[in-house]
Amino acid sequence: MDATLPILILAIPLGMFLVLGLAGCKMSHKLAGTLGCLGMGTTLVLAYYTAFTYFFSGSPEFVDAAGNRLQALIFNQTWLAFTDNLVIRLGFLLDPISAMMLVVITTISFMVHLYSMGYMRDHHGVYEHGFQRFYAFLSLFSFSMLGLVVATNIFQMYIFWELVGASSYLLIGFYYVKPSAVSASKKAFIVTRFADLGFLIGILILSYYTGTFNFTELTSAPVEGLAGVFQISESTAAGVKSVFESSATPVFMGASVLTWALVLIFMGGMGKSAMLPLHIWLPDAMEGPTPVSALIHAATMVVAGVYLVARLFPLYLMEVSALEFVTWVGALTALYAAIVACTQIDIKRVLAFSTISQIAFMMVSLGVARPEMHEGLGYMASMFHLFTHAMFKALLFLGAGALIHAIGSNDYTEMHGLRKYMPITHWTFLIGCLAIAGIIPFSGFFSKDEILSSCLGNSTVIYVWMSLVAGLTAFYMFRLYYLIFWWKEHKVHEGHHAPHDQPWTMSLPLIILAAISLVAGFIPFGKFVTWNGKSYDFMAHFDWSVAAVSLFVAVVAIAIATVMYRKENPLPEKMRAAMPGLWKWAHHRFYWDELYMFITHRIIFDGICRPIAWFDRHIIDGTMDAFATITNKASRAIKPLQSGQVQLYVWWYLLGALALGGITMLCLL
């Protein structure tokens, strides 16, 4: 495939960022917004075209004779050569997951661009301060995210990984006058930075032993006769493992070095994807404008961790313990986030915890995937869920954004009963809720069902666990739904307009995303995205009993939610009173933030930084000053020598001469 279009996919958002960033303040708001949308629209078209070509052209560089999908290096340019082998290249790797991600990112990003045209202005149509900057950052983010998914080597991924982190930082802190936004952005950056430290060390370990950064050399084998075309290969991954095993120290602290590397790399993923215990930044990140939450903190950036594991999946397969680590981190996070989501009152936070929980689903799915079981169904399910989740979660967030824009608050206690006022928002939000709850035929049903199927294939414990979480998901989403749109009639405050649906720029994305959420479940994902490129019909692995159970669980959960929240009633209060401890802990998110606060402030700041700063000023610098002080003291101490008395002068003179002679005499003796 010609490299021009793929380069443009990256270049247009970058160019938009530069143009809007440098010249934005000289432009009118409208022009800036239009430019941003146009740019993203073009990127969208190009990305769709590229993905379409990849999946459907049947070109030999994309699919082989047996129907296996291949990895194609569209281009790969040296960027920084550390050594002859360790070279960072910037390139474009087209394979099933990156093509799929291109579609997801550009779609959501375009929707958000469009949506923000409406969202980022007030009811009088006045654009927000920094509107141009907002579009510049959005473009920067899109560029970074696209660069991340098409990375040809792990270091390129790391580079863009950092860039998405930075653009996320900038966007969370968009309202920089608000202290909470500033601290949220700081928190997000630092927590993910900490995770990236693990990622970096993992990369260093991996690259040291394997001598390469390239995914194609780590996980796939070249296809003969075609330059730059590769096929996922277990034997390459096995070769990598044997490199580790034949090294001088294959085991470090009880685990193989490869496991360490993979777990450390996964740590990066945990940070970006907000897995326990590095999840604390994501709820706070909701301080950013809602479209940003939809794009970055629901649909794209936060799934980068999942994408990372998927990218290195063949390597993870070599170390089952690493995969199990992934599974359990995911499972714990899923449950934790679901419980917390049940108790939050800020709608964006509920959605944020829901996101954490759903990403954890994807992680679990990857963790339980085994090639020998349903042909690695979990991998496909994970990617499928990533896709559908992106759509319906973006939908939910944008819906929430519409609500917030209309009400001017994040708090659902100020909403209630909005269904009559905002019908479009209501219906699309409902579709999103049904999708995430896993009701047939909405997209979430299919993807979640496959995840549960693959869990069952791996371990019953995980299956039961995740089913429970799925039930909780349905419960808290419908709790949210009812509390926003039902519960009691909406009171319109005097002097305020009644809330109403938003302009087309905001409604259109909702409708489009709702439509996708409705039908996306029917995409035969197994045909497109599988762990090794061999396509299969996932219906062959579809387990109706699992589907029935999960549907049952979801329906029951929705029913409970309906009973509790459809109409104003004391039941929720009773529930809360029934388990005060659990409620309190869940409401305070199990005090993770307080724990981190304690670690950072009490231990790191007060326990390390301050003592070090004190030590530096008083001990180290004090020592240096002490040299000066000692010299001065010595100077003062020998002052009496120069007493002004000639007789003493002579006395010293004589003493000196005699000592000189005497000591030399003694030495000579």
Partner 1 sequence: MEIKAIMLLVPALIMFCCGVYGFITRRNMIAILISLELMLNAVDINFAVFNRYLWPDAMEGMFFTLFAIAIAAAETALAIAIIINLYRSAKNIDVRDLNKLKY
Partner 2 sequence: MKQEIGLLVVFLLVFLYDTFMPQRAGKALPVVSTVLLLLATAAGFCSHCLGTATSTEAFAGMYATSPVVCAIKSILNIGAVIVLLQSISWSGSDHMAVRRGEFYELLLVTLFGMYLMISARHFLLFVIGLECASLPLAAMVAFDKRHYESHEAAVKYILTAVFSSAVFMMGISFVYGLAGSLYFGNIYAALSAGTHSLMLTLAVAFVIAGMGFKLSLVPFHLWTADVYQGAPTSVTSYLSVISKGAAAFSFLVILAQVFGSLYSDVWEWMLYALIILTITVGNLFAIRQTNMKRFLAFSSISQAGYIMLGIEAFNTMGLTAMMYYILVYIFSNLAAFGVIGAIERASGKVDMTDYRGLSKTNPRLAFSMMLAMFSLAGIPPFAGFFSKFFIFTGAINQGSVAIYVLVLIALINTIISLYYYLLVVKAMYISADEPVVGTFRSSISERLGLWITVGGVMLLGIASCVYTWIFDLGEISPLAAYFV
Partner 3 sequence: MFSNILIWFVVIPLLMLAGLALCRDIKQIRAVAVAGSIALVGLSVKLLVDYLAIRAAGNTDPMLFTGSWTWFAPLHINLAIGVDGISVAMILLSAIIVFAGSFASWTIPQPKAFFLWLILLSTGVFGFFISIDLFTMFMFYEVALIPMYLLIGVWGSGRKEYSAMKLTLMLMGGSAFLMLGLIGIYYHSAPAGQSLTWNILEIVRNNSISHGWQCFLFPMTFVGFGVLGAMFPFHTWSPDGHASAPTAVSMLHAGVLMKLGGYGCFRVAIYLMPHAANELAWIFLVLTGISVVYGAFSACVQTDLKYINAYSSVSHCGLVLFAILMLNTTAMTGAIMQMLSHGLMTALFFALIGMIYGRTHTRDIRAMGGLMKIMPYLSVCYVIAGMASLGLPGLSGFVAEMTIFVGSFQHADVFHRTFTIVACCSIVITAVYILRVVGKLLFGPVQDKHHLELTDATWWERLSTVTLILCVAAIGCFPNFFSNLIRFTFSPDIFAVLGMN
Sites of contact with partner 3 (CB under 8 A): 78-83, 86, 88, 155, 158-160, 162-163, 166, 169, 173, 176-179, 182-183, 185-186, 189-190, 193-194, 196-197, 200-201, 204-205, 207-208, 248-249, 604-605, 608-610, 612-613, 616, 620-621, 623-625, 628
Q: How many CB atoms lie within 10 A of CB 635?
A: 9
Residue 645 one-letter amino acid: Q
Torsion, Cα of 192, 198, 202, 208 (10° steps): 110
For residues 134 and 289, is the Cβ–Cβ distance under 8 A? yes
For residues 51 and 103, is the Cβ–Cβ distance under 8 A? yes
607 binds partner 2 (CB under 8 A): no
Residue 445 one-letter amino acid: F
Residue 380 one-letter amino acid: M
Torsion, Cα of 91, 94, 98, 100 (10° steps): 150
Nearer to partner 2, 563 or 630 (CB): 630
Binding partner of residue 196 among partner 2, partner 1, partner 3, none, CB cut-off 5 to 8 Å per kind: partner 3
Region from 75-83, 102-110, 175-183, 639-647 binding partner 2, contact rule CB under 8 A: 639-647
Binding partner of residue 86 among partner 3, partner 2, partner 1, none, CB cut-off 5 to 8 Å per kind: partner 3
Binding partner of residue 186 among partner 2, partner 1, partner 3, none, CB cut-off 5 to 8 Å per kind: partner 3
Instruction: Say how many CA atoms lie within 13 Å of 255 toward its Cβ.
Output: 13
**Burial (0-12, 13-18, 19+ Cβ within 10 Å), 124:** exposed
Q: Quick one: tokens of 252?
A: 């470090």
578 binds partner 1 (CB under 8 A): no
Give the shortest CB-78-to-partner 3 separation in angstroms. 6
**Residues near partner 2 (CB under 8 A), total:** 31
Rounded CA gap, 335 and 466, in Å? 8
Binding partner of residue 632 among partner 2, partner 3, partner 1, none, CB cut-off 5 to 8 Å per kind: partner 2
Residue 291 one-letter amino acid: P
- Give the chain's largest Cα–Cα span: 115
Binding partner of residue 661 among partner 2, partner 3, partner 1, none, CB cut-off 5 to 8 Å per kind: partner 2
For residues 422 and 501, is the Cβ–Cβ distance under 8 A? yes
Give the shortest CB-658-to-partner 1 separation in angstroms. 11
Task: Select the residue interacting with partner 1 from 539, 646, 665, 669 (CB under 8 A).
Answer: 646
Rounded CA gap, 173 and 180, in Å? 9
Neighbouring residues of 473: CB distance < 8 A, sequence distance ≥ 6: 338, 341, 354, 357, 358, 436, 437, 438, 554, 557
648 binds partner 2 (CB under 8 A): yes
634 binds partner 2 (CB under 8 A): yes
Binding partner of residue 83 among partner 2, partner 3, partner 1, none, CB cut-off 5 to 8 Å per kind: partner 3
For residues 80 and 148, is the Cβ–Cβ distance under 8 A? no
Nearer to partner 1, 26 or 636 (CB): 636
Q: With DSSP H G I counted as helix, E B as strand and the rest as coil, what are the percentages for the chain, rounded to 5?
A: 75, 5, 20
Nearer to partner 1, 26 or 639 (CB): 639
Q: What is the DSSP letter of 492?
A: P
252 binds partner 1 (CB under 8 A): no
For residues 499 and 421, is the Cβ–Cβ distance under 8 A? yes
647 binds partner 1 (CB under 8 A): yes
Binding partner of residue 634 among partner 1, partner 3, partner 2, none, CB cut-off 5 to 8 Å per kind: partner 2
Binding partner of residue 527 among partner 1, partner 2, partner 3, none, CB cut-off 5 to 8 Å per kind: none
629 binds partner 2 (CB under 8 A): no
Give the shortest CB-21-to-partner 3 separation in angstroms. 9
Rounded CA gap, 465 and 476, in Å? 17
Q: Which residues bind partner 1 (CB under 8 A)?
A: 639, 642-647, 650-651, 654
* Residues engaged in binding partner 2 (CB under 8 A): 628, 631-632, 634-636, 638-639, 641-642, 644, 646, 648-650, 652-658, 660-665, 667-669
